[in-house]
Structures are given as structure tokens and as C-alpha cells.
């Protein structure tokens, strides 16, 4: 099958991407211990994959309060910023483009990760059942543990949340990122405000669809004011089944937000599809609705092959296809697709934590 669309350039925001493959955001838990700083090993990993049209980095917490897993990188200290600057320079040296995914996990956290051992925060004080986070216990051993019960953020605290996104964006700009991506998906804080099952607020941030969208749009407006709309993307995950998220208005919210994003002229909308984690596939009608409502570039991500990605692009409902696990195991995925070459299989036992093994040691063609 010829990849007439997947391997062609595309304009996204202020830049032209060399091809329509995006490396999806992939948590790998290999930041420095302690400090949560990107390291030289991380820089090597990303530079190896710089032939992707766009790399969306692993989710990166905007504050200590925003952290839900040990050893994930942050973007709220000078050392973290310097580490990311090194990553960016390595990818840019090879002609790649990077978007920093800005992350606040909300209730998907634990007191051991929070400032002063406080409770995690969320839209409402509803604990995530059947959900875990990754911590370093008091005796120094790592462990996967159930998420702690959160407290509801006070209305007066929300400007501080917005300010944390702005501060992270300022650091991303100094580090040289081409874009920032606001992570409003996969059951994390901004998604907790969007969803009917996690937002039971009675202030102006809850009660109806527009109010539930308010915090995300305030964050977006503040980030756009800092860096420019053509350098901003947002990730959404309609019908996402994980992290105990339920939402009776998921599609309506996505279509509303797509329209609001268009009004602001942002670079891209990144859709994390639900079926790769056991959810119901998105309907063709819904995909067309997103395309109709959003005027920027659409990235869609979730279990695609070269062939299914090409087919999705041909339908006209997406501009870029995100690939996750294939990029873990195939740093040269673009060239493998170009040649129709076999793919390395990813080693799931090395996805999270560790060092070079299963991270920077996957073989290139030849």
C-alpha cells in the first residue's frame, strides 16, 4: 500500500511538519531521581525519534501538585527547564519538531507525591476507584498504589491552577519548544472538570456543559496569550473508559470545545481514541462533526498501523496520525513505513522505569 498522505508534509500552526506521523505522548518514568529532571538519556531517546513529523513529549507535570507518578518529568524548576532545553536542542539539530504536553493529574495521585503530604485535588471530592498511581514509599521502595481520595479545589484556587499552566508555558517557550499541548484527556485534572461523573460543583465551574468547560478555556486563553494560538494544541479523549471517568455528555463537550478552539485559532486538536483501552470506537458521524467544528489540524491517536493511518487521512477527518508503542520500539518508524519494513516488537516489561534497556537500545534498520 502506498502511503501517499502519511509521508507527505503538512502545515500545523506556525510550522510545516515533514510528514504526518506524530510520536504520541508516552510516559516512560525515566526522569532523574530525585528532581524529576529530563536527563541526557531522555535527550538521546527523543533525538533518536526526531524523524517523526511531530513529537509530543511524555506528559510533564506543571507543578508538584500535578504529579501522579514517580520519576515523570516536570516543567516547574530551573533544572527541569534546562533538561528540556537539552532535549529540544537535540531534536531540533536533527530537524524534528516538539510539543511539550502540560499535565496536571488532579485526583490520579497520592499523598506521597503531593507537597507536604496533602491530599490530591480534583473538581469534586470523588475518589477514583480501580485507579492507581506510582509512588516511592517512605522506606524508599517503589510501589503501585490506589489513588488517594482528593479534595475539591476551592473556586479561589483556580486562578492559581491557570497560573501554573502559564508558568510552565513560559518555561517551555524559553526551552525552545515548537508547541505546547494542554493535556485535557485521559481522566486527569482538566478532564475531571469536563466530565459529568467527576464534576459535581455548584459554582461557575460546574452544573452545565459550558461551566464544566470553563477552566480548560481559561487555561487555554492564558496559554495562548503567553505563546500564541499557532503554537498551542489541546488533547481530548472523548468516551475514554479509564481512571474511573464517566461522562454522559462526552461527545457534546468535544464538539462544543472544537468550536471554541476554532474561535481561538489554535494549531491543533489531538484526539486520543477510546477503543485501544477497551472503549467503544468513535463513530464516523462524530469524527465528521469534529472536523466540521474545528478549523485547525486534527491529530488522532490510538492503535493505528501504517495502513489504517493512511486510510484515516484519506477520509479527510484527520491531518496527522499519532503512534505510540510503534515509536517506542522503532525509533526509525518513519523510514520503516516508507520501506514497508518489518517493525521491532515493543518490550512491555521495560515501558516504565529503568535505563537504556527498552528505551534507547531498539535497533534501527540496517
Q: Which residues are catalytic?
A: 188
Rounded CA separation 136/36 (Å): 13
- Measured at the alpha carbon of residue 17, what is the angle toward residues 12 and 20, in degrees to the nearest 5? 90
Rounded CA separation 25/364 (Å): 21
Q: Are 261 and 234 in contact (CB under 8 A)?
A: yes
Give CA 275 to chain center in angstroms. 17
**Which cell goes with 251?**
461527545
Among 216, 160, 164, 208, which Cα is nearest to 190's? Answer: 216
Among 106, 294, 256, 87, which Cα is nearest to 185's? Answer: 106
Among 98, 50, 60, which Cα is nearest to 81's? Answer: 60
Among 56, 11, 1, 45, which Cα is nearest to 323's? Answer: 56
Rounded CA separation 271/301 (Å): 6
Among 132, 147, 189, which Cα is nearest to 164's? Answer: 189
Helical (H) or strand (E) element with 80: helix 78-93
Rounded CA separation 19/6 (Å): 6
Q: Are 141 and 135 in contact (CB under 8 A)?
A: no
Q: How far is CA 337 from CA 26, 326, 330, 345, in A?
A: 20, 11, 10, 14
Q: Any idea what DSSP says for residue 230?
A: G
Amino acid at each position: 500500500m502506498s502511503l501517499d498522505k502519511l509521508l507527505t508534509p503538512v502545515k500545523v500552526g506556525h510550522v510545516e511538519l515533514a510528514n504526518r506521523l506524530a510520536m504520541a505522548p508516552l510516559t516512560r518514568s525515566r526522569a532523574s531521581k530525585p528532581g524529576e529532571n529530563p536527563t541526557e538519556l531522555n535527550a538521546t531517546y527523543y533525538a533518536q525519534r526526531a524523524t517523526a513529523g511531530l513529537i509530543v513529549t511524555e506528559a510533564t507535570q506543571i507543578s508538584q501538585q500535578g504529579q501522579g507518578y514517580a520519576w515523570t518529568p516536570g516543567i516547574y524548576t530551573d533544572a527541569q527547564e534546562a533538561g528540556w532545553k537539552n532535549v529540544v536542542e537535540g531534536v531540533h539539530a536533527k530537524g524534528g519538531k516538539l510539543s511539550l504536553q502540560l499535565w496536571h493529574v488532579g485526583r490520579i495521585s497520592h499523598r506521597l507525591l503531593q507537597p507536604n503530604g496533602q491530599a490530591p485535588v480534583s473538581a469534586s471530592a470523588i475518589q477514583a476507584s480501580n485507579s492507581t498511581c506510582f509512588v516511592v514509599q517512605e522506606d524508599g521502595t517503589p510501589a503501585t498504589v490506589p489513588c488517594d481520595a482528593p479534595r475539591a479545589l476551592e473556586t479561589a484556587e483556580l486562578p492559581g491552577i491557570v497560573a501554573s499552566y502559564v508558568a510552565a508555558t513560559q518555561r517551555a517557550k524559553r526551552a525552545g519548544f515548537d508547541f505546547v499541548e494542554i493535556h485535557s484527556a485521559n481522566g486527569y485534572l482538566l478532564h475531571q472538570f469536563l466530565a459529568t461523573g467527576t464534576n459535581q460543583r455548584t459554582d461557575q465551574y460546574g452544573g452545565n456543559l459550558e461551566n464544566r468547560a470553563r477552566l480548560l478555556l481559561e487555561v487555554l486563553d492564558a496559554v495562548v496569550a503567553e505563546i500564541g494560538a499557532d503554537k498551542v494544541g489541546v488533547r481530548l479523549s472523548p468516551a475514554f473508559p479509564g481512571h474511573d471517568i464517566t461522562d454522559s455528555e462526552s461527545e457534546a463537550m468535544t464538539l462544543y470545545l472544537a468550536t471554541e478552539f476554532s474561535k481561538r485559532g489554535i494549531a491543533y486538536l489531538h484526539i486520543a481514541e477510546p477503543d485501544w483501552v477497551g472503549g467503544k470506537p468513535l463513530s464516523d458521524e462524530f469524527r465528521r462533526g469534529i472536523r466540521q467544528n474545528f478549523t485547525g489540524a486534527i491529530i488522532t491517536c490510538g492503535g493505528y498501523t501504517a495502513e489504517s493511518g493512511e486510510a484515516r487521512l484519506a477520509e479527510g477527518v484527520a491531518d496527522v496520525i499519532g503512534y505510540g508503542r510503534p515509536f517506542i520500539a522503532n525509533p526509525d518508524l518513519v523510514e520503516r513505513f516508507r520501506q514497508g519494513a518489518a517493525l521491532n516488537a515493543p518490550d512491555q516489561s521495560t515501558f516504565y522505569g529503568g535505563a537504556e534497556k527498552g528505551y534507547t537500545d531498539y535497533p534501527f534498520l540496517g
